Structure 1
Amino acid sequence: MRQNTKLTAVAAATAALALGLTACGSSSDPASSGQGDEATASKPLVIGASPTPHADILNFVKTELAAKEGLKLEVKEFTDYVLPNTATQQGQIDGNFFQHKPYLDDFNQKNKTDIVPVVNVHLEPLGLYSKKHQALSDLKAGQTVAVPNDTTNEGRALHLLADNGLITLKEGVGTDAKLSDISDAKGLEFKELEAATLPRALNDVDAAVINGNYAIEADLEPSKDALALEKGEGNPYANFLAVKRGNEKDARIQKLAKLLNSPEVQKYIEDTYKGSVIPAFGTPQA
């Protein structure tokens, strides 16, 4: 009988404690209690990134700057443009650093995800490369140009080709241009490939439009090797730190955003990439 009374008392106390936690917010919810905030702040911040230059920049922050801000930073590398957003949406990582706004807008719309940019960091100029030709004028009718097959980067590639007189796009075509929007291909043939595979395809095509990070990974130097290169001024393709909506105010994210826009990171980008990657700090486009 005494044992039953003891168990009943314990159960009542447990229920009361649970009710109290429900009313006040559990400690696992950082937005609901100071203890939760402290617990979250002490956890490592895991950010997914493309290897170059994104992970390189993050690792510079990790080794040179993070400790001074009390930030524990972990960098998880991804080699594609889908998994970093999927992992961020599902909470497997805290955020990512690999993409620009047109790509994110398209991804969110197609995948019903809810990822938002936090702070711009840099621009990787998209370039046209070739192992067979030395100048734009060498590209002739009947030759093949490879372009990224994802919506936003393909549109970006086609605008680069149009800006350099290699093709003509239909009037009014926006950033989501596709091959069917070419009004005059001037005899060129096009091959759509996954962005990450484009450097490896250079031996099989006459030229390829390659994202800056993949060009660098392939030991191409955009500022010297590209037959044509995007201009940085007014470019909407700045790469940024991104998180699932609602996590923008996480103290760890705010610390990382501050560090990614610091003078030290600006110097690191300028000294390391020498124009192949350009600092593009500030607030992302709405």
Structure 2
Amino acid sequence: MNRKRFFLPTLLAVISLLTAFAAGCSNGAAPGSDKPLKLGVTAGPHAEVAEIVKKTAEKDGLKIEIVEFSDYVQPNAALSQGDIKANSFQHQPYLDNVVKDRKFEIVSVAKTILFPMGIYSQKLKTMQDLPNGAVIAIPNDPTNGGRALLLLEKAGLLRLKEGIGHTATPTDIVSNPKNLRFKELDAAQIPRSLGDLDLAAINTNYAMTAGLLPTKDALLLEDGNSPYANVIAVQTKDKNDPAIAKLIKAYQSPEVKAFVAEHFKGAAIAAW
């Protein structure tokens, strides 16, 4: 047999197979291959939810490898470098700041869970009992202070300067019909000061530590429309990837929603 005639068709066949495989990998073919989709999360609640997402995604043919990070910086850096395919650990304002500062080509593609900020009181039973001149504590850090004011604005208690968003401070209040007075305190200190206040805006982690259950004890509570809902982020070029669509489907599934409700008992809620 002529070795050249045998070698050429064989070589072409191998090249064809390699080309097809490469094309499959590049168009997000992870659901049908042995290569898993790498999902970056921070340790704790996000990692716990990711385990349920992983099991749910397998039913749809998508394999997920969970990659845990110990800080909030590395998941976006790893995503930008292509070390992971998606991440799930941050809310939209945080992502916006990272993209602005680092110029990453990263976008959010779906909402995940929300750790809701709530308005609590030991003096009042309902918001209708709120007196004129009430004293309200809000966190003194820029992100959560503005978050508290947005929640109070949504409840109709005040009006903020148009377009100020989550960077708002008490100086940005343009309408305050009840003459509410604001005390800006360290977020961790607010639950301990609750007895001296009419109302207090408390982050979920500090509320739970103080024995407060957000869905039961808060007079006001953020819902899934909050801009602070956490998101799935991907590289901009991957936002329409079929594998990402399957990831979103698995995350926003009845199984995951049921797990969030049962496991976190109001400390986290489904935001979709």
- After TM superposition, is the score higher than 0.5? yes
User: Does 1:118 pair with 2:109?
Assistant: yes
1:73-93 Cα deviation digits (max 9, x unpaired): 21415464x443344334454
CA displacement, residues 222-273 of structure 1 (integer Å, 9 cap, x when unaligned): 11232421244x5444432111222334554333222112222222233334
Q: How big is the shift at 1:181? A: 0.8
* C-alpha RMSD of matched pairs (Å): 4.1
CA distance 1:273–1:254, shift in 2 (3 Å): same
1:143-222 → structure 2 map (5 Å cutoff): 144-150=137-143, 153-164=144-155, 168-179=158-169, 180-183=171-174, 186-191=180-185, 198-199=187-188, 202-203=191-192, 209-212=201-204, 215=207, 220-222=212-214
The whole-number CA distance in structure 1 between the counterparts of 2:154 and 2:109 is 30
- 2:48 pairs with 1:56: yes
* Aligned residue pair count: 244
Once the two structures are superposed, the pairs formed by residues 240-251 of structure 1 within 5 Å of their partners are 240-250=231-241
Counterpart residue type for residue 183 of structure 2: E
2:98 to 101, 107, 115: 107
Task: Work out the CA distance in 1 between the residues paired with 2:206 and 2:94.
Answer: 16
What residue is the counterpart of 1:74 in the other structure? 66
Identity of aligned residues (%): 33
Q: Distance in 2 between matches of 1:216 and 1:190?
A: 20
Per the alignment, residue 97 of structure 1 pairs with: 88
Deviations 1:54-100 (A, max 9, x none): 322112223x32443341321415464x4433443344543221333
Give CA-to-partner distance per residue, 1:89-143, whole Å, 9 cap, x none.
344543221333344334322432221112223344321346x656564996677
5+ residue gaps, structure 1, are 1-20, 282-286
CA distance in 1, matches of 2:189, 2:21: 47
Unaligned runs of 5+ residues in structure 2 are 1-14
Partner of 1:46: 39
Query: Structure 2 length normalisation: TM-score?
Result: 0.67
Q: Is the 8 A contact 2:142 2:167 kept in 1?
A: no
**Matches of 1:102 and 1:77 in 2, distance apart?**
20
Q: Structure 2 residue aligned with 1:33, among 8, 23, 38?
A: 23
Q: What is the TM-score when the length of structure 1 is the normalising length? A: 0.64
Residue 17 of structure 1: aligned partner: none
> AA paired with 1:202?
P
Amino acid at match of 1:186: L
Contact 1:78–1:84 at 8 Å: present in 2 too?
no
